[in-house]
Amino acid sequence: QVQLVESGGGLVQAGGSLRLSCAASRSIFSFNALGWYRQAPGRQRDLVATITTGGTTSYADSVKGRFTISRDNTKNMVYLQMNNLKPEDTAIYYCNARVLVLSMRDYWGQGTQVTVSS
């Protein structure tokens, strides 16, 4: 029904940068919000950043000033630019698409691994 595919993860040194991409199978206007979450082993899945249809962005305190979420409506793509990466950023990063019509519904990608070495 809805497919989200993440890419761009990898292994980087602390202080480095990565750009994650999320390709949606349909127009991103179909979603009320798009976002990135991350989950490290033994930890809960946490919100990293979101962007609404109107372009409003929100970030977890831990990534403010370092990460930037953006979108390309024409390409149905959502991006997460990650700068000044820290070892604690190591996690699987998941793309999320939220639909709110009669009720809230979340769709998830398969995740992409980000590993930051110190």
Q: Quick one: DSSP state of residue 85?
A: -
Of 52, 73, 49, nearest to 63 by C-alpha is 49
pLDDT at residue 117, rounded to an integer:
97
Is residue 88 helix, strand or coil? helix
pLDDT at residue 102, rounded to an integer:
80
pLDDT at residue 24, rounded to an integer:
94
Q: From the first residue on, what is the mean pLDDT of each consecutive set of 10 residues in the chain (118 residues)?
A: 94 98 89 95 96 95 98 95 98 95 90 97
pLDDT at residue 27, rounded to an integer:
84
| Terminal Cα distance for the chain, rounded | 40
Residue type for position 15: G
Number of Cβ atoms within 10 Å of the Cβ of 44: 8
- Report the relative pairing of strands 112-117 and 10-13 from DSSP bridges: parallel
State the Cα–Cα distance between residues 99 and 85, nearest whole angstrom.
30
